[in-house]
Chains A and B, each alone.
Chain A
Amino acid sequence: MTILKTLAAAGLAVATLFSATSLATAQETDQVGRQVYLDAVKGKKVIFIPISQGFDLNQAWVAVWQRHAARYGFSIEVRDPNGDTNAGIRAMQGAIAEKPDLIIVQNPDVQTYARLLKQAQQSGIKVMQVNMQSATQTDSYVGNDWIEMGKLEMTELAKSCTGPKAPSHKVVWLAGVQTGAANIYMRTGIDEVLKQYPELQLVSDQPADYSSEKARQITETVLQQHPDLCGIMGIWDNAEVGAGAAVAAAGKQDQVTIVTNGAGSDTGCQSIKNGLLDVIYNFNAPIQGEIAAQQISELLQHPERKAGSEKTIFFGPVTRVDKTNASGRNCWKLDELK
């Protein structure tokens, strides 16, 4: 009997051991935390309110996010106000009423959505801002460090315009719109560099309204006043091509350095190759989009964290692109992202 008992006990032990092993194997085949993550993001609703979907950077972001949404089964809806601030406010109000899990917003300026963003957070909707910030800080901001951008560009001009070989110390700042967050912060960065290089002379500081023709007109007029102009810095490669055209028309491409920033699309690289621009500080919109996609996942994964309870900031990488590296990853095409 004792032998039988012992055998039974041993058999039981072996069986338990086996079943335990098989249980462990079953657990190991499912990657730790995977199912929890997939369940957390699946079926969630994200609404994006851009300034306009006509910009290259917006198209890159949305291409990246749609890929993520399709992969993980959450929905991303774009409510495009097409540059109309009033339509943007209506889109924001509509989005808040719909109670999505996350609102992504690209602010036209620092004030317009400031109160609406607060309202969204109070009603429990998480808010991520991309590239253009509001006066209200929300759960997350992914985009440029615009003060750094202002410093980078003006320092670039300082390099060309303070040495002994510089044609003069005269520089121009072609802003976009004066109330835009990017403009305000870039100006802070510019002023810091100007303090460092007191010999630099800011001879013109006018917004070109993100229009290449306006940029061309300002540059043409300024070049008449200051034929020895040394450098121009701007805020968007697609607008500064106008400044480049004015400089080219005056035959001063070798004298005037044109620095700007951009989303890194191939058109910017073409402008460098055509000699319209010298340097683009490229914030690579597809990479920015990937970082934002990671933030989307994080915000969707933690429904237990209240909207507005944390404030995360992530600045994307910036690459200095000139004619030596205007190729490959620095010049993306939208079709290649999809």
Chain B
Amino acid sequence: MAGDKKATPAILGRGPGKPIKINQEWVVIAISVILFVVFSLGLDKFLSEGNIIALLKNVSILGTLAVGMGFVVVGRGIDLTMVAVMVVGVAFSIWISSWGIDFTLAALIGAGLAALLGLFTGIMIAFAEIPPIFATLAIASSIYGSGRIVFASDVLYAPNNVQWLKWIGSGTVFGLPASVIIFGVVAAAMGIFLRKTRFGRLVYATGDNPSAARNMGLPTRPLIVTQYVISALIAFTAGLIMTGLVTGINTRLYNSSLIYDVLLVVVLGGIGLSGGQGGVRNVIVGTILVGILTNGMTILNFSYTSQNLIKSIILLIALAIDAIINPRDEQTSQSGDI
């Protein structure tokens, strides 16, 4: 009997062999599969090609943002400025293009602004050592506030004659919408970056134990700054997807629950907020679950409020199952766990 008890953690993936790892990612995949099957059987046309593409298209912005957020969270940070950078960066591009500057150039300038904002956030966190949650919360508010003063209206419409923006909105590659392709490219690039490059591995090291990483001589501060610059640029990309899709951007989006939805996707997918674990695969898993849920509930004509309620309950269930299967103890918990 005692032997059985010792064997259990090995089966669950805690041993060195790691045969099957039942972790949160698998719980979420299981829930997604169950929902997918239930919706496919219960809802007419859920399984149609058009609906699956619509489902993916509807989460492309969320997923793109979540890739950036996941990247920061892996390094034990959090970037609550993403939505603010997204709306203000793109709104800034549209605003300067209204002076007669070509929109392509304006978009590049906007991207530059987003990178600068990310640089500033990164410096505040890495060098001023403000905890990321407070630094980004405050900076997000300042970015949005400044935008609010500069742009007269919440809603800014992009010029109507920009071909590449039209392509983002309605173009397709092999039948897949451009917005989904962009999400895929951003996710793939980030996946390779995290897994295959030295920089990526250093992000994991810093996220797992920042003090140890620094003592080892890793350049943790420049690493952190770079992460926030990249997440800001990803946020700007998500903003361009949105502008392409709906012809303009509403800066009021900053006040919506979008940033929490992004966090939901990241946490749901299984990237722990304590850093050092998970990757792009987790983000995709989380994004797809939210996509299936939202799509099914929209077809079922659930109200917005009940949709949010159900989304939160599913998140809670996923976290609870994970906590039961993988209980935290002195050995598994990390310093800095939230």
Which residue of chain B lies nearest to A250 when distances are taken between CB atoms in the complex?
B50
In the complex, are the beta carbons of B153 and A212 less than 8 A apart?
A: no
In the complex, are the beta carbons of B154 and A54 less than 8 A apart?
A: yes
With A54-B252, A206-B301 as known contacts, state yes or no: A213 contacts B153, CB within 8 Å. no
Q: How large is the interface on B (under 10, 10 to 19, 20 to 34, 35 or more residues)?
A: 35 or more
With A245-B169, A267-B157 as known contacts, state yes or no: A213 contacts B245, CB within 8 Å. yes
Chain B, residues 153-172, CB within 8 Å of chain A (1/0): the string is 11101001000000001100
Residues of B within 8 A of A211 (CB): 250, 252-253, 256
With A54-B148, A82-B148, A211-B250 as known contacts, state yes or no: A221 contacts B245, CB within 8 Å. no
- B294 close to chain A: CB less than 8 A: yes
Of the listed residues B44, B51, B55, B246, the one surrounded by the most CB atoms of chain A closer than 10 A to its CB is B246
Which residue of chain A lies nearest to B302 when distances are taken between CB atoms in the complex?
A206
Residues of A within 8 A of B160 (CB): 270, 274
- A216 close to chain B: CB less than 8 A: yes
Chain A, residues 302-338, CB within 8 Å of chain B (1/0): the string is 0000000000000000000000000000000010000
CB contact list, A211-238 vs B, under 8 A: 211-213, 215-218, 220-225, 238
- A16 close to chain B: CB less than 8 A: no
> What is the interface of chain B mostly: helix, strand, loop, or mixed?
helix
> In the complex the two chains form, what is the Cα distance from A211 to B294 in whole Å?
16
> In the complex the two chains form, what is the Cα distance from A271 to B177 in whole Å?
23
CB contact list, B240-271 vs A, under 8 A: 242, 245-248, 250-253, 255-256
Kindly list the 6 A-B residue pairs having the minimum CB-CB distance in the complex, ordered from nearest.
A54-B154, A224-B51, A212-B246, A217-B58, A242-B246, A221-B298
CB contact list, A246-303 vs B, under 8 A: 248-249, 267, 270-271, 274, 276
> In the complex the two chains form, what is the Cα distance from A83 to B54 in whole Å?
30
Q: Smallest distance from the beta carbon of A322 to chain B beta carbons, Å?
A: 19
In the complex, are the beta carbons of B252 and A220 less than 8 A apart?
A: no
Q: How many A-B residue pairs have CB under 8 A?
A: 107
- A52 close to chain B: CB less than 8 A: yes
- A207 close to chain B: CB less than 8 A: yes
Residues of B within 8 A of A206 (CB): 298, 301-304
- A178 close to chain B: CB less than 8 A: yes
In the complex, are the beta carbons of A83 and B252 less than 8 A apart?
A: yes
In the complex, are the beta carbons of A178 and B303 less than 8 A apart?
A: yes
> In the complex the two chains form, what is the Cα distance from A248 to B245 in whole Å?
10
Other than the given A59-B153, A205-B301, A267-B157, 4 more pairs (CB < 8 A) read A54-B148, A56-B155, A238-B250, A245-B247
Which residue of chain A lies nearest to B251 when distances are taken between CB atoms in the complex?
A54
CB contact list, A136-185 vs B, under 8 A: 177-178
In the complex, are the beta carbons of B153 and A220 less than 8 A apart?
A: no
In the complex, are the beta carbons of A218 and B153 less than 8 A apart?
A: no
In the complex, are the beta carbons of A221 and B54 less than 8 A apart?
A: yes
Interface residues of B (CB under 8 A from A): 44-45, 48, 50-51, 54-55, 57-58, 61, 148, 152-155, 157, 160, 169-170, 177, 242, 245-248, 250-253, 255-256, 294-295, 298-299, 301-305
Residues of B within 8 A of A82 (CB): 148, 255
> What would be 25 A-B contacts, judged by CB atoms less than 8 Å apart?
A54-B154, A54-B251, A54-B252, A82-B255, A83-B255, A84-B255, A177-B304, A178-B304, A205-B301, A206-B301, A207-B304, A212-B247, A213-B242, A216-B245, A216-B246, A217-B294, A217-B298, A220-B54, A221-B58, A221-B299, A225-B44, A242-B246, A245-B169, A245-B247, A274-B160
Residues of A within 8 A of B298 (CB): 204, 206, 217-218, 221-222
Q: Smallest distance from the beta carbon of B141 to chain A beta carbons, Å?
A: 11
Q: Smallest distance from the beta carbon of A170 to chain B beta carbons, Å?
A: 13
Interface size on A, residues (CB 8 A): 42
In the complex, are the beta carbons of B305 and A178 less than 8 A apart?
A: yes
In the complex, are the beta carbons of B250 and A212 less than 8 A apart?
A: yes
With A82-B148, A84-B255, A245-B169 as known contacts, state yes or no: A221 contacts B295, CB within 8 Å. yes
- A186 close to chain B: CB less than 8 A: no
Q: Smallest distance from the beta carbon of B57 to chain A beta carbons, Å?
A: 7
Q: Smallest distance from the beta carbon of A177 to chain B beta carbons, Å?
A: 8
- A18 close to chain B: CB less than 8 A: no
In the complex, are the beta carbons of A241 and B51 less than 8 A apart?
A: no
> In the complex the two chains form, what is the Cα distance from A83 to B257 in whole Å?
13
Of the listed residues B54, B177, B302, the one surrounded by the most CB atoms of chain A closer than 10 A to its CB is B54
Residues of B within 8 A of A203 (CB): 301
Residues of B within 8 A of A218 (CB): 298
Residues of A within 8 A of B302 (CB): 206
In the complex, are the beta carbons of A220 and B248 less than 8 A apart?
A: no
Q: Smallest distance from the beta carbon of B92 to chain A beta carbons, Å?
A: 16
Which residue of chain B lies nearest to A227 when distances are taken between CB atoms in the complex?
B50
- A77 close to chain B: CB less than 8 A: no
Residues of A within 8 A of B45 (CB): 224-225
> In the complex the two chains form, what is the Cα distance from A225 to B299 in whole Å?
7
Residues of A within 8 A of B245 (CB): 213, 216, 242, 245
Residues of B within 8 A of A274 (CB): 160, 247
Residues of B within 8 A of A177 (CB): 304
> In the complex the two chains form, what is the Cα distance from A210 to B318 in whole Å?
30
> In the complex the two chains form, what is the Cα distance from A177 to B302 in whole Å?
14
- A199 close to chain B: CB less than 8 A: no
Residues of A within 8 A of B305 (CB): 178
Which residue of chain A lies nearest to B294 when distances are taken between CB atoms in the complex?
A217
Residues of A within 8 A of B256 (CB): 209, 211
Chain A, residues 3-36, CB within 8 Å of chain B (1/0): the string is 0000000000000000000000000000000000
In the complex, are the beta carbons of A55 and B157 less than 8 A apart?
A: no
In the complex, are the beta carbons of A224 and B50 less than 8 A apart?
A: yes
In the complex, are the beta carbons of A221 and B51 less than 8 A apart?
A: yes
Q: Smallest distance from the beta carbon of A57 to chain B beta carbons, Å?
A: 11
Of the listed residues B157, B247, B295, the one surrounded by the most CB atoms of chain A closer than 10 A to its CB is B247
With A220-B54, A221-B54, A249-B170 as known contacts, state yes or no: A55 contacts B154, CB within 8 Å. yes
